[in-house]
Amino acid sequence: MKTAEEAENQLYEVLAKCPVFSLNFGENLDARFDPPKIFNEYLVPYYKKRVAQLHKAKKFCFIHMDGSLKPLLPHINDAGFDGVEGATPLPQGDITLEELKEVLGDTILIDGIPMLSFLPHCSYKELEEYTIKVLNFFTLI
């Protein structure tokens, strides 16, 4: 991790100065590949450092996570991200929408609609109803 961190120092200096508001950590994490022990020991400290660095530059930081997330999501808030993108509830992922909301708290969910909802077996009405449910769960108003 130290070698990777050192190699990326210059990249994060450039990212902090770039004229964009938000940055996506395109990790595509899955608990089957990064179990909680590895996630907490190696990744969370790294994310904390990088997110803090980017927050100083007034950047909104979010991370892409999908797949098997249930074991990881309770720890994601420790990393300091403003949002989680791609966290996929059942039937595609391994967590319910209700559990996702409970775990994320005030962390913003970006997307949250299973890709399966866009396939032909799902009607437009079902997609619309699910989208409204997601919006109701995660809207701060």
Tens digits of pLDDT across the chain (141 residues): 778 878 899 999 999 999 999 999 988 888 999 999 999 999 999 999 999 999 999 999 999 988 889 999 888 899 999 999 988 888 888 998 889 889 988 888 888 888 888 889 989 999 999 889 888 888 765
Determine the 3-state secondary structure of 81 from DSSP. coil
Nearest to residue 81, comparing CAs of 58, 38, 51? Answer: 51
Q: What whole-number distance in Å separates Cα of residue 87 and Cα of residue 27? A: 12
pTM of the model: 0.86
**2-138: CATH number:** 3.20.20.210
